[in-house]
Amino acid sequence: MKLLEPQIERFWECFRADAGLVEKKDSEPPPMHSLINVHMMLAGFAIENLCKGHLAGRLTWKERKKVKAGELPKCLDGHKIPKLVRRTGMMLSEFERDLLARITEVISWRGRYPAPLSHDGIVPFPQWGNDIVRIKAFLRKLRTHVGAKDSYLCQDTNVQPA
């Protein structure tokens, strides 16, 4: 995720300049591709892994026995990020719910494919210039909540927890 952040920041700088919201700083061409959805997909995978790791540690002995037999418990099934986070017991703000809903959509197709599998998926999709900051803050909050160690890739002295 961290490797994509400079390119995404450059994308938003160019977008703001093209929209006339800020003065153009240089003559460097804008990025050819937006990696915003890929960044959000990777964030979704990190959130999913943190949640499922935490939930796996709370499995009953019966559930653990089923896992050894190859059966996945219901609490670890699926990729609905908001649902997984709620299962950890973490409270979410409205902004966090919005972010996690968008990340769930990105995981399902936007981060991997050029189009959805069905026409139902063709809907407006808001992206915000401060999603990187929101994602970092949320990951920090989730890591604290589930008791996971901080990753050096997520450390940023400018980001305060939500």
Say whether pLDDT at 68 is over 80: yes
Contact 134, 95 (CB under 8 A): yes
Is 151 within a domain? no
Is 82 within a domain? yes
Is 110 within a domain? yes
Contact 77, 109 (CB under 8 A): no
What integer pLDDT is reported at residue 22 of this predicted model? 78
Is 56 within a domain? yes
Q: Whole domain around residue 51: which residue ranges?
A: 37-146
Judged by DSSP in three states, 69 sits in: coil
What integer pLDDT is reported at residue 156 of this predicted model? 55
pTM beyond cutoff 0.95 = no
Is 154 within a domain? no
Which residues, including other chains, have CB under 8 Å from residue 84's CB and lie 6 or more apart? 47, 48, 51, 52, 55, 78
Number of domains in the chain: 1
Is 87 within a domain? yes
What integer pLDDT is reported at residue 45 of this predicted model? 94
Binned at pLDDT 50, 70 and 90, residue 145 comes out as: very high
